[in-house]
Structure 1
Amino acid sequence: MKKLLLGDEAIAQGALDAGLSGVYAYPGTPSTEITEYIQGSALAREWGVHSRWSTNEKTAMEAALGMSFMGKRAMVCMKHVGLNVCADPFVNSAMTGTNGGLIVLVADDPSMHSSQDEQDSRFYGKFAMIPTLEPVSQQEAYDMMEEAFQLSEEQHLPVLVRVTTRMAHSRAVVKVKETPRQQNELNYNAQASNWVLLPAFARKRNDIVTAQQAELETIAEKSSHNKYEDAADHSMGIIATGIAYNYLMECFPDGCPFPVLKISHYPLPKALVRRMTEACESVLIAEEGQPFVEEMVRGVMPGNTVIKGRLTGELPRTGELNPDLIKKALGIESDERYATCEDVVPRPPALCQGCGHRDVYAALNQVLLDYPNARVFGDIGCYTLGFLPPYKAIHSCVDMGASITMAKGASDAGQWPAVAIIGDSTFTHSGMTGLLDAINENADITVIISDNLTTAMTGGQDSAGTNKFEAICRGLGLSEEHLKVVVPLPKNMAEITQTIRDEINYHGPSVIIPRRECMQTLQRHLKQKKNAERK
């Protein structure tokens, strides 16, 4: 059976067909569609596959570990910066090992289309000493899911699967299995001495995992996803990883005249690398992301082979690759069909018309005219666009949840007023602990939780704290007197501005919750209601 699938959808279908019992994730571009596909799958509903959104990537990773502990196959999905959030359980998962297969799917975003940085998650796989897979196509992404689960269960290690934006968000025809694999049965084979990371036990597991590295490298060298394709012209060899292999093949529709080493399974297959560096005068390394392979190859190559790539300038040091850049590195004439079109007028992103965030920023800016030294600490979400004209309302945006803790730190330094603005989903993701710090120290900050009743930036997924924010703030110890809810509409501007002014002038922690549904989800809900009434 064949299906036309996004890379993300191929991953999701592959996981389902491999006997997935649960997916755990926090939405983040370009990984979001994996979980959404599973949420919409009839097979997933029939088999009771868990697919609810998690509060953040750390809770997702830990829940997936719990499912693996019980012998079931689990997958946790995130974008690259989400791996930073769950780094603690991720790295420790190599020490605990796995019982049921566990895949950690990370979607990197080179060129930072919707991200704060373009980090390369392959470094995390090497750091944690776990196998890493990197598909070159949608078909390989589908096929890798079953193999990754098998590898995880055979080696008792999680497996990191790394994709990039173009792989995640491009479509191809994928051949899928007619009959999905049944889910694993619940079992109690997990040994507590592996999963309780007291130093005495962890040291033993560390020795075991370290000793596994030679075997994992041998597996990578024999993997069908790593292949050496010889050719007549040995003046150059090319190592291509992930989607860069596809770009290379586009440059040579009749076949590459140089030897090519395709790498999609790590640890780095050093024997295959040495074969190329021994045979070729120079080696070009094409990889999407940072010079991960290029740096390692320099440590294993023999003789005087010239290594070329991102570090030497043949390929750009940052940003995405494309076939034109590969051609340029190879000295092939290019028509630069992938070059940016300069005739298109730029359309910078903007808050939607009618968005409640607009009214929040309008009110905040009006109040802060009376406080020339005010500083507003922003966060990750649609409301980050408040930095742009016409509002120019925020002074920082670093990572999920940083608004509250940065405002607190600024207040600790003597800054007043210090205002934090954070969205509803981001607050439950990683803002609650910062507010607890502020309450415990009676920090002089004003926190605005701009609640649009959804995770709007990534497409309107459920927000973990919907209808719970007042209770959460009270539970953290916030004074009822300084917990205010307003409705961000132009007609309420006098009330909103007065509320902001009052809470700024209160010298302690306060929270204002402007609440109005996102315009995008509102339109969707109204359409659904209308269709239901027609039936």
Structure 2
Amino acid sequence: MKKLLLGDEAIAQGAIDAGLSGVYAYPGTPSTEITEYIQESAIAKERNIHRRWSTNEKTAMEAALGMSYMGKRALVCMKHVGLNVCADPFVNSAMTGTNGGVVVLVADDPSMHSSQDEQDSRFYAKFAMIPTLEPSSQQEAYDMMQEAFDMSENLHLPILMRVTTRMAHSRAVVEVKDEARPQNELNYNAQASNWVLLPAFARKRNVVVTGQQPLLEQMAVESKYNKYIDGADHKLGIIASGIAYNYLMECYPEGCPFPVLKISQYPIPKKLIRRMTDDCEQVLIAEEGQPFIEDQVRGVMPGNAVIKGRLTGELPRTGELNPDFLKKTLGLESSESYAPCEDVTPRPPALCQGCGHRDVYTALNEVLKEYPNARVFGDIGCYTLGFLPPYKAIHSCVDMGASITMAKGASDAGQWPAVAIIGDSTFTHSGMTGLLDAINENADITVIISDNLTTAMTGGQDSAGTNKFEAICKGLGLSEDHLKVVNPIPKNMPEITAAIREEINYHGVSVIIPRRECMQTLQRHLKQKKANK
């Protein structure tokens, strides 16, 4: 059966067809559509595959390990910066090993279309001594899921699958199976001595994992996803990984005249690389993201070849690759088809008309006119756009949950007033612990939890703390006298400004929760309600 699928959808379908029992994820572009596809899948519903959003990536990774412990197959999805959040369980998962298969799908974002950095997740897998798969097409993304789960169970290791934005969000026809593999049965084969990471046990497991590395390298050499394709002209050899291989093939529709090494399974296949560096005068390394392969080739196995790539300027050091970049490097005529159109004026993103965040920033700016040295610490979400005109309301945005802890640190340094603004989903993701720190020290900060009842920035997914925020704040120890809920609409501006002013002038921790549903999800819900009548 053939389907037209996004890369994300091919991954999701591949996981379902591989006998998936649970997907665990926190929404983050460009990975969000994987979980959404599984949530809407009829077979996922029929099989009762776990498919609810997790509070953050760390809880997602840990829940997946729990499912693996019981013998079933679990998929964990996140964007690249989410791997930082779950780094502790991810790295330790190599030490515990797996019982049921675990695949950790990470979507990197070169060019930072919707991210804070261009982090390359392959470094994490190398650091953790975990195999990596990097598909070069949507068909490979689908096929690799079955093999990744099998590999995870055979090696007793989690497998990282890495894609990038263009792979995640482009479509292609994919040949899929007519019938999904059955889910694993519960089993009790997990050995406690592997899963209890006391030093005495972890040392033994570390020897096993380290000892597996030569096997993983040999598997990469023999993998059908890593191919050495010889060419007639050995003046140049080309190593292309993941979607960069796809771009290279677009440059040579009749076939590349140079030897090509396609890499889609890691650790890097050193034997195949040595063959190329011995046979070719120059080697160009095309990879999406950071010079991960190039660093290793240049450092330990350059042979007689001159190594070229991102580090030497033949390809751009930052941003996405595309076929035009490769054509220029290879001396081919470039159509510049990927260049931005000069006739279109760039328009920065803006908060939606009617968005509650607009009224929150209007009120906050009005009050802070009275405090010329005020500092507002922002966070990750739609409301980050409050940095842009016309609001220009925030002074920082670093990572998920940083607003509250940065405000506390600024207050510790003597700053007043110190205001933190954070969204509802981000607060439960990683803001609650920062608020607990602030409450424990009664830090002189004002926290605004701008609650639009959804995870709006990534498309309106469920927010883990909806209708629980007052209880959470009180449970953390916040005084009820300094917990206020307001409705951010223009007619309530006097009430909102009064609440902000009052809490800024209270020298301790206070929380204000402006609550109004996101305009996008509100319209969606109204349409659904009308359709159901």
Calculate the TM-score normalised by the size of structure 1: 0.99
Map of 1:272 onto structure 2 = 272
Taking the TM superposition and a 5 Å limit, the aligned residue runs for 1:318-467 are 318-467=318-467
2:340 maps to a residue whose letter is: T
Structure 2 distance, partners of 1:302, 1:79, is 32
Q: Matches of residues 56-455 of structure 1 in structure 2 within 5 Å?
A: 56-455=56-455
8 Å contact from structure 1 (residues 217, 269) kept in 2: yes
Distance of 1:305 and 1:284 partners within structure 2: 10
Please report how far the alpha carbon of residue 333 of structure 1 lies from its aligned counterpart in structure 2 after TM superposition.
Answer: 2.3
What secondary structure does 2:353 align onto? coil
> Which residue does 1:504 correspond to in 2?
504
Which stretches of structure 1, 4 residues or longer, exceed 4 Å deviation after superposition?
none
Deviation of residue 380 (structure 1)? 0.2
Note the C-alpha offset of 1:304.
Answer: 2.7
Q: Kindly provide the CA deviation profile for residues 298-320 of structure 1, in whole angstroms up to 9, marking residues without a partner as x.
A: 13325331000000000000000
Instruction: For residues 364-387 of structure 1, give each alpha carbon's deviation from its aligned partner in whole angstroms, at most 9, with x where no partner exists.
Output: 000000000000000000000000
Q: Is contact 2:356-2:516 (8 Å) kept? A: yes
Residue deviations 1:237-281 (CA, integer Å, cap 9, x gap): 000000000100000010000000000000000000001011100
Gapped regions of structure 1 (runs ≥ 5): none
Within 2, Cα distance between the matches of 1:162 and 1:415? 42
| Distance in 1 separating the partners of 2:307 and 2:418 | 51
Q: Does 1:25 align with 2:29?
A: no
Q: Measure, in 2, the Cα distance between the counterparts of 1:92 and 1:495.
A: 49
- Displacement of 1:332: 1.6
Partner amino acid for 2:367?
A: V
Residue 347 of structure 1 deviates from its aligned partner by: 1.2
SS of the residue 2:457 aligns to: helix
Separation of aligned partners in 2, 1:73 and 1:113: 31
TM-score by length of 2: 1.00
SS at match of 1:76: strand
Inter-partner Cα distance in structure 2 for 1:235 and 1:433: 57
Aligned residue type for 1:525 = H
Amino acid at match of 2:483: L
Answer yes or no: is the 8 Å Cα contact 1:274–1:300 preserved in 2.
Answer: no
- Letter aligned with residue 475 of structure 1: G
Structure 1 residue 335, shift from structure 2 partner = 2.3
In the alignment, the residues of structure 2 paired with residue 360 and residue 217 of structure 1 have an alpha-carbon distance, to the nearest angstrom, of 54
SS in 2 for 1:172: strand
Letter of the 1:243 partner, please give it. I
Distance between the aligned counterparts of 1:101 and 1:135, measured in 2? 19
| 3-state SS of 1:289 partner | coil
Task: Find the aligned partners of 1:199 and 1:145 in 2 and give their Cα distance.
Answer: 33
Q: Is the 8 A contact 1:270 1:300 kept in 2?
A: no
Letter in 2 for 1:113: H
Distance in 2 (alpha carbons) for counterparts of 1:74 and 1:233: 45
What SS does structure 2 have at the residue aligned with 1:104?
Answer: strand
CA offsets 1:347-397 (integer angstroms, 9 cap, x no match): 110000000000000000000000000000000000000000000000000
Deviations 1:11-67 (A, max 9, x none): 000000000000000000000000000000000000010000000000000000000
Q: Give 2:41's aligned residue.
A: 41
Give the Cα–Cα distance (whole angstroms) in 1 for the partners of residues 25 and 245 of structure 2: 28
Amino acid at match of 2:230: D
Measured in 1, the distance between the counterparts of 2:341 and 2:201 equals 58
**Distance (Å, rounded) in 2 between the aligned partners of 1:335 and 1:111:** 21
* Deviations, residues 474-497 of structure 1 (Å, cap 9, x unaligned): 000000000000000000000000
Mapped to 2, the partners of 1:195 and 1:301 lie a distance apart of 37
Shift of 1:334: 1.2
Kindly tell me the number of residue pairs found equivalent between the two proteins. 533
CA distance, structure 2, for counterparts of residue 342 and residue 121 of structure 1 = 33
Query: d(CA) in 2 for partners of 1:478 and 1:420?
Result: 15
Residues 401 and 430 of structure 2 are in contact (CA less than 8 Å); yes or no, is this contact kept in structure 1?
yes
Unaligned 5+ segments in structure 2 are: none
Residues 73, 101 of structure 2: 8 Å contact kept: yes
CA contact (8 A) 2:274 2:303 kept: no
Task: Give the superposition deviation at 1:340.
Answer: 1.4
Structure 1 residues 303 and 131: CA distance shift in structure 2, 3 A: closer
Deviations 1:426-467 (A, max 9, x none): 000000000000000000000000000000000000000000
- Give the whole-Å Cα distance in 1 for the aligned partners of 2:244 and 2:340: 19
Return the letter of the residue paired with 2:279. Answer: A
SS at match of 2:212: helix
Distance 1:480 1:31 in 2: 38
> What is the distance in 2 between the residues matched to 1:465 and 1:47?
27
Q: How many angstroms apart in 2 are the aligned matches of 1:376 and 1:119?
A: 27
* Residue in structure 1 matched with residue 478 of structure 2 by the alignment: 478
Q: Which amino acid is 2:453 matched to?
A: L
CA distance in 2, matches of 1:52, 1:302: 47
In the other structure, the counterpart of 1:13 is 13
Amino acid at match of 1:163: V
CA shift digits 1:112-133 (9 cap, x unpaired): 0000001000000100000000
State the secondary structure of the residue aligned to 1:362: helix
AA aligned opposite 2:495: E
Aligned partners of 2:164, 2:307: CA distance in 1, in Å? 24
Aligned-residue offset at 1:328: 1.1
Distance 1:335 1:35 in 2: 36
Q: Equivalent pairs: percent with the same residue?
A: 85
Equivalents in 1 of 2:169, 2:317: separation in Å? 23
